[in-house]
Amino acid sequence: MSDQIDKSAPVLVTGASGYIAQQVILLLLQKGYKVRGTVRSLDKAPALKALLAAQDPRANEIEMFAADLMSDAGWDEAVAGCTYVHHIASPIPPELPKDPNDLIVPARDGALRALRASKAAGVKRVILTSSVAAIAYGYDDQPEILSEADWSNPDNLKDNTAYTRSKTIAEKAAWEYLSGPGQGMEMATVNPSAVLGPVLSGDFSASVGILTQLMGGKLPATPSVGFQIVDVRDVAATHVAAMETPGAAGHRFIAASDYYWFADIAKLLREEFPAQRKKIPTRKLPSFLLRFLSIFNPVMKQVVPELDKKRVVTNTKAQEMLGVTFRPGREAILAGAKSLIDHNVV
């Protein structure tokens, strides 16, 4: 597969300082690709390169470009000469904004900016990071097992948040662009579930908040909430395989592994990390109480649409078409927790 790719052409990774993007960059370097990255400000570039170079010295050679989701500046320079682009940059807030458009507009417009610049530069294929949020929300009658053929309904506000709506709207806008002005350029999307696994520093994705909340003594009890877990390294592997596999163009790929309730994660963490045991909750939080507390707590408010719901997706397509093997959820949870301890986050 990959020997058909000219590795002398740079591969662009947008949002290079992000949790998933860091692992995509490291995997690309490991496979011998020349890598470029975008960051919102070049002030961040030296620290990011040093962080990545601690894992792989080749990261010192990464070219960095300043590009923002909400501005046209910098995008043309970043994509010039690239055959492949991984568009990973997207807003993920620690808490939901008062105005949903604060999330929806940058997610959608940023994706379109990256695609338009890529098309103008003659990029062959863009791999877009979407989410299971664009697959598993807004149903009146939710299928028992969801696949890439399913789409969330962002207009059904019953269980959507600004974040889940932003992922659906951005991905749909991207596919619409590909079937219109973007015709002739290829695209594939990667749709991860809750992303855990090792962190490289104290700066990481909001999804890792599952672990910091549980291990940092921030939760008195576990809510009746669960997610399918996926290791960040496997999300990166899905991204790179979707770039290298000729037949992947035009497809969505779910990246997900085992389902865990918060209580199951807490139990596993108590067993494996006895030094943290005192901070990890043992009781379950009644759903009615969480609904009440969410009136005053913006972080809890994000959790309400997940209460007592189980959304299950299948990763069969990524396994069969791309050859990705997903680590067990347990491994992603423990690797994430260990790295958070190592970086003195918890």
State the Cα–Cα distance between residues 265 and 146, nearest whole angstrom: 23
167 belongs to the catalytic site: yes
For position 90, what pLDDT does the model report? 86
* pLDDT at residue 296 is higher than 70: yes
Residue 216 contacts residue 276 (beta carbons within 8 Å) = no
Cα(227)–Cα(263) distance, integer angstroms: 11
157: left (phi over 0), alpha (psi -120 to 50) or beta: alpha
To the question of pTM greater than 0.85 for the whole model, the response is yes
- Whole domain around residue 75: which residue ranges? 9-342
Average pLDDT over residues 225-239: 97
The CATH code of the domain that includes 159 is 3.40.50.720
Report the percent of the chain where pLDDT is more than 70. 98
Q: Is residue 4 in a domain? A: no
Residue 146 counted as domain residue: yes
pLDDT of residue 94: 65
pLDDT at 1: 45
Within a domain: 2:
no
pLDDT of residue 3 exceeding 60, the answer is no
Angle of helix 262-272 relative to helix 329-342, nearest 10 degrees? Answer: 60
Q: Is the pLDDT of residue 2 over 50?
A: no
Is position 329 within any domain? Answer: yes
Buried b (16+ CB within 10 A) or exposed e, 220-246: eebbbbbbbbbbbbbbbbbbbbbbbbe
Give the active site residue among 44, 167, 301, 317.
167
Q: Into how many domains does the chain fold? A: 1
What are the backbone dihedrals phi and psi of residue 89, each rounded to the nearest 5 degrees, phi first? Answer: -60, 130
Phi and psi angles of residue 184, each rounded to the nearest 5 degrees, phi first? 100, -25
Residue at 72 is within a domain: yes
